Structures are given as structure tokens and as C-alpha cells.
Structure 1
Amino acid sequence: MSLPTFTLTTTAEDVATVFADQIKGKNVLITGTSIGGIGFEAARVLAKHANLVIITGYNSERLRLSEEAIKKELPAANIRQLVLDLSSLAMVRKAAAEVNAYPEPLHVLINNAACGDAEYHLTVDGLEKQMATDYIGPFLFTKLLAPKLLAARTETYTPRVVNVSSGAHAFITAFELTEGAVAHSSPEQVPFARYGQTKSANILFAGELSKRSGGKINGYSLHPGLIATNINTKESNKAHMISIGILTPEGLPNTEKYEWKTMAQGAATTVAAAFDTRFDACPGAYLVDSIEANDKIGPIARDPNNAAALWTVTEHILGEAFSFD
């Protein structure tokens, strides 16, 4: 069968329809699925075809609303809620233990959740909150769920881990890969630079995961596009978004300077990374507009030495090694 070439205007529905047979029977976990975000849209679309979609969030009420919204449209959808606060390592461990107790294997893990607060905060573990939520927590979560993912592997299927990154990663010019810098950052650091570092970490992690697993798990990262989600329109982030021109002085999407996507278009690349069979041939790939775009990876996130160093530093921060046994 000839597969279509996806573009900027491709929607998550479009991708899911093409790969409906691949999604059928699969169990997928998506972090960060509050209504108004691309994680919710990906969950909604995948629920039409998948055997099980596990939705997560740190707010149980928002989780309930997300499930209700999906079930209202798709009464037969198999949705399971999971409370997950990625800013707390203890909560990550608790959530992972819950998933590992499920009877089903896990075919796809989508690390979509991100910290929407650009201000400097430390978590209960003493980690910088944005890095903890966007990268360190997902690294630990993925590590703890690796046995569950490996249990889904067959001769014809390789489980996938999808990290939602951002094109913003390419704008950073420095990323100090020491334990202190990764764990704590600095209150004086520009928020956008810190965000770019977390998104670089997502890309480095996906590539190194594919490499270290030796073909047992395929990792992918992606830029979803510029979308008016509940993160970049959040009141506390508006001033910064206006200062760099993403939003107009009135706080609206700057459509003259940037090409924006709808929520449906923004979730497309996530679904493609999770199920497009063409990516079996390029584990570790970075995707833009639902196609492979490794040429758009910035210098810091492209360097394999950085990937290896970040992996080692993260293991030191967590005090444990990532194993694929």
C-alpha cells in the first residue's frame, strides 16, 4: 500500500486513519492529557482505534473531565485514568508501580506533559521544576516502565517511546551537562533558555534510548508546531511570549510572523511518531509535520556525546541506572 506524505496541515485524525490497523489492539499511555492540549487530542483520536488509552495528569478532576469528554464522543473507548505528578520522583514511582501492575503490556509511551510555568521553582526533590517535569521525571517514568514496554515486543513489533519536544530547542546556544546544572539550573537563567534546554534533553533522550536499547525500544522526538495551547497562552507566560514575538502585544497568536497549527494539526506528529510504520527504519528520529526532520535538530541536541553525557548525568541525579534487561 502506498502511504501518503503528511504535511503541516495533516491532522491527528488523518494519521490515525492511515494507521488504524497498527493502532488496533495496542495499549498507549499519554502523559499530560488535560482538555485544551495536544495530549488530549492525541488521546481522543487514538481512543477510536486502540485497545486501551491511559491518560495521565497531576489533577484528578481534570483527568475525570478528559475521560468524560472522550467517552461522550466514544462511549465504547477503553480509557484508564492515572494520576501522575512528574515534578515529584516519589509520585512518578507510585504511578509507574500502578502501571506495572496492569495485566496488559504497554506498546507506546508518549511523554507529552510539560511544565507550563516559566518561573524558577524547585520541586520537593530539590530539582528545577521545568527540567524535572519535562525531562527528569519522564526519564525516570520511562525507565520504570521499560519492562512493561519490553513485554510488548514481538518479532514483528518494536515498542515506542515518543518525547514531545519543540523547535525552540534549536535556539539555545549552551547546555551545561553537569549534575548541578541539569538538576538545579539557575534562578538568573532566562526562562526561554531553560525551556529550550529541557526540549533539547527530550531529543537527546530519544536518540540515546534507541541506541542503548539495541533495537528493543524505539525512541522518537518531535516538534508539534506552534499551537495556541493552554501552556503558551497561560497568563504567567504571556509577557515572555509577547517579548519574543510569538504573541502580539495584545496577547494573541502572532499569525503575521508565524504559521500556527490547530489542535488537530498539532497532535498529528505525535500520532505519527507513535504508529507510522515508516519510522521503524529510523529509530531515534526527530519529526516535524509528521515526517523525519533530523536536519532541523540544533547543534546541541544533535551531538551524540551530549546524549551520552546527559544520560549518565541523569542516572547520577536519580541514583540508579536505566536497564533494558
Structure 2
Amino acid sequence: MSALPTFSFHTTAEEVADVFANEIRGKNVLVTGTSLNGLGFETARVLAKYANLVIITGYNQERLKLSEYTIKKENPAVKIYPLTLDLSSFASIRKAAAEVNALEGPLHSKWLSVQFQVLIHNAAAFGTSASFTPTIDGVETQYATNHVGPFLLSKLLAPKLLASATAGYTPRVVYLSSVAHGYGTGVDFDLLTNPKAEGYDAFKTYWATKSTAPLMAIELSKRSKGKINAFSLEPGRELFLSNSYFRLLTCETVIFTASMENEVVSTIMKGTGALTPEGKPAEGLPWKTLAEGAATTVAAAFDTRLNDQAGAYLADSNVANDKRAAHSSDPDDAERLWTVTEKIIGEKFTF
């Protein structure tokens, strides 16, 4: 058997998927946040080439249908299951999880048996307004979408993941973090447990929510005692801005995704010069393509070299634990975050 290739900055999701095609074949995968021209869409598109079934999710049914149509137009033989899911709503999460858990028996047996093998937490909310907005469940919106919702979804779908384990395969959960997780001081436990408008900063909250992903990968791997391998990652060295001055904080690598088409985000990006007045990626910045940005997600989900590295943090499709901030590596904070989140959802997440 030939040696596996070394992935790099410019490796694409399709290239990673092609390398691990045999590992992907027959697997059932759920990817959250799969709107067209986003990282989740690209992840789902390339995995669908080989997977038995890819469940795509989104809170907007029209966009979800468009993603399904676009993937099937490219390859009509792929199996896609669109699942309506709003990660900011506990009720929506419970309804979606119940739908997935019911996908078995004669009607769906050609797609999904009693389990699936990979859960990819790609969806995220990004603060584009300075205003504080709680969800109907009383959680700050970014924390709800980026952390609490994925936690509840993982808890409800864990039995299906656990059922997929074999002597030679351990199911995986993948959390998308961001280079921004290192900009702040870590999880804001006060805002998470006692959300309030006073002193609220949307950008700092985004950084804080992204610091939860590495902690969850560490803690889920530990608590499952080898039954689930969890990983976190940064898709690219992204561009982030101060909401006070809209000035550039870092300019390493930028990925042009659908989020930049948001009117507020687009205006900010144009103001910094990251986008041209026409809304196109500016020259001179080290942009990653969408295909390159999704590569690390595919690697985290299927690279067999990660089998004995549960809890690892990835960048550019390689293990990069040195890029994980200290506050997102702390086992005490990981345990505290898990316990606090159990209280928020009102349920224990045990194995």
C-alpha cells in the first residue's frame, strides 16, 4: 500500500476525499450548515461522491433544497437527505434529531440503517450586529448556534453514532472552530449562563463561542472512553474585524464563503479592503478557495492517521495542536463547559 500524502495549505476537500475514498464508502454522514457556497456545502458535495448517504441541514428550506439540487445535478446517483434544523432552537433540534432517529426500517433501509458514522458540526452564527439577541430558550444567539445547539444535537444522536462502531471503526464527531478562538480569553461562562445585554460585544462573543469547539472535542473524546473520536479544526487563517473600529486584526488567510455575501459582513469587508467595491476577493491577500477551506473538515472526518489522536486540533488538514489556544486546551475548562451546558439543556449527556 502506498504511503498517504502530506496535505498542505492548498490541498482541496476533493483531494482529501479521493485519498480516503475507501474509508468514506458506505458511511452515513450528517453535516450541519450546508448553504450553497459555504464550507458545509463543499464538504457535503465531495463526501456525497463516495458516502452511502449525506444528511444536509439548514434552517431555510429553500436554501436547503437548492443545496440538494446542486449536489444532485452534478452527480444524480448520490444520496442526499435534506433535514430542516435551526441550531438556535431546542425544539427544532429535538424535532430534527427525532427525524434522524426514525430513519430506519424498510422505507429508508437503502439509505440509513440504525446508525450513522460521522457528525460534522459546521454551522455557525457570526455576530454582525452589536445588539444582544437571546434565543427563545434564553441563550445568547451565537452561543446557542455555535455551542449549545451542537451539544444537544450530539447528545440526541449519540446512540446512532455509538451503534456504528465496529472492531475496526470508531465513529467521529467534528467541530469547526476558527483561528479567532485564540483572539479572546476563552469561554465567557457568565454570558453563557447569565446572558445579558450589558457590556455585550458580538465579535468577542464569536471568538468565545469558537473557543468551545476544541474543548468539546477534548471532553467528548474523554467522556466516551474511546467510543467516539472527536476533533476540532480551523478551516483557514481567516479575516476578523473589531466591531468598534472595523479595523483589520489579522490578515493571514481568508476564505470567501457565502457569509461574505451578507450585507453587513460585505460592507465591513469592503471597508477593510478585503473585498473590492464589487464584492470580489481583493488581490494581495492569501485567500483560500472554498475547496481548500473545506479540506481540513474532510480530513478530520476520515483521515485514518487520526485514529489514535482523539481530541486533536487540525489546521491545513494536519494535526496542529500548537495552534490551539491554551484556554481551549484546558481540561478543567472542558469539564466545566460540559457540565454547564448539561444544565442549560436540562439533560445529562452520558455514555
Query: TM-score with structure 2 length normalisation?
Result: 0.87
Q: 1:231 aligns with which of 236, 259, 281?
A: 259
Letter in 1 for 2:123: A
Which structure is larger by alpha-carbon Rg, 1 or 2? 2
Offset of 1:173 from its aligned partner? 2.4
Q: CA deviation at 1:247?
A: 2.6
Taking a change above 3 Å as real, the CA distance of residues 265 and 276 of structure 1, as seen in their structure-2 partners, is: same
Provide the C-alpha distance between the structure 1 equivalents of 2:31 and 2:99, rounded to a whole number of angstroms.
15
Which of 99, 114, 137 is the aligned partner of 1:125?
137
Shift of 1:182: 4.5
CA distance in 2, matches of 1:279, 1:308: 23
Question: In structure 2, what is the Cα distance between the partners aligned to 1:56 and 1:185?
Answer: 29
Instruction: Give the letter for the 2:341 counterpart.
Output: T
More deviation, 114-123/315-324: 114-123
One-letter identity of the residue aligned with 2:99? E
Q: Do 1:210 and 1:217's aligned partners in 2 also have CA atoms closer than 8 Å? A: yes
Amino acid at match of 1:220: F
Distance across 2 between alignment mates of 1:183 and 1:73: 46
Match of 1:106 among 77, 96, 116: 116
Deviation at 1:252, TM superposition (A): 5.3
Q: Contact 1:15–1:268 (CA<8 Å) still a contact in 2?
A: yes
Report the counterpart of residue 96 of structure 2 in structure 1.
95
Equivalent runs, 1:272-283 vs 2, <5 Å: 272-283=299-310
| Counterpart in the other structure of 2:33 | 32
The answer to whether the Cα contact below 8 Å between 2:34 and 2:40 also exists between their aligned partners in 1 is: yes
**In structure 1, C-alpha distance between the alignment counterparts of 2:275 and 2:310, rounded to whole Å:** 38
Q: Deviations over 1:129-159 (max 9, x none)?
A: 1110111000000010000100100110000
Equivalent-residue separation in structure 2 for 1:4 and 1:92 (angstroms):
38
Aligned pairs for 1:1-325 (under 5 A) are 1-103=2-104, 104=113, 105-119=115-129, 120-178=132-190, 180-182=191-193, 184=195, 186=197, 188-225=199-236, 226-238=254-266, 240-241=268-269, 245=272, 247=274, 250=277, 253=281, 255-256=283-284, 258-324=285-351
Deviation at 1:127, TM superposition (A): 1.0
Indicate the SS of the match to 2:87.
Answer: coil
- The Cα shift of 1:304 comes to 1.1
AA in 2 matched with 1:118: T
Moved more, 112-121 or 220-229: 112-121
Q: Quote the offset at 1:254 in angstroms.
A: 5.3
Residues 178-215 of structure 1, C-alpha deviations (whole Å, 9 max, x = no match): 4x544626453322211111110111111110011000
**Per the alignment, do residues 202 and 186 of structure 1 end up closer, same or farther by CA in structure 2, a change over 3 Å counting?**
farther
**One-letter code aligned to 1:309:** R
CA distance in 1, matches of 2:134, 2:321: 33
* Residue 233 of structure 1: how far off its partner (Å): 4.2
Secondary structure of 2:64's partner?
helix
1:228–1:293 distance in 2 versus 1, CA, 3 Å: same
Distance 1:240 1:317, change over 3 A: farther
- TM-score normalised to the size of structure 1? 0.94
1-side partners of 2:260 and 2:334: how far apart?
Answer: 27
CA contact (8 A) 1:28 1:109 kept: yes
Whole-Å separation in 2 of the counterparts to 1:164 and 1:33: 13
Q: Helix, strand or coil for the counterpart of 2:232?
A: strand
SS at match of 2:211: helix
Call closer, same or farther: CA 1:157–1:300 in 2, change over 3 Å. Answer: same
TM-fit CA distance, 1:260: 1.5
The Cα shift of 1:253 comes to: 4.0
Per-residue CA deviation, residues 9-38 of structure 1 (Å, 9 max, x unaligned), is 000110000000000000000001110101
Amino acid at match of 1:228: F
What SS does structure 2 have at the residue aligned with 1:184? Answer: coil
CA contact (8 A) 1:210 1:284 kept: yes
**Structure 2, unaligned stretches of length 5 or more?**
105-112, 237-253
Instruction: State the aligned residue count.
Output: 321
Kept in 2: contact 1:116–1:232 (CA 8 A): no
**TM-superposed deviation, 1:294:** 0.4
- Change over 3 Å in CA distance of 1:185–1:194 after alignment to 2: farther
Q: Name the aligned partner's letter for residue 79 of structure 1.
A: I
> In structure 2, do the counterparts of structure 1 residues 157 and 233 end up closer, same or farther at CA, with 3 Å as the change threshold?
same
Q: Deviations over 1:291-317 (max 9, x none)?
A: 000000112111111111111110111
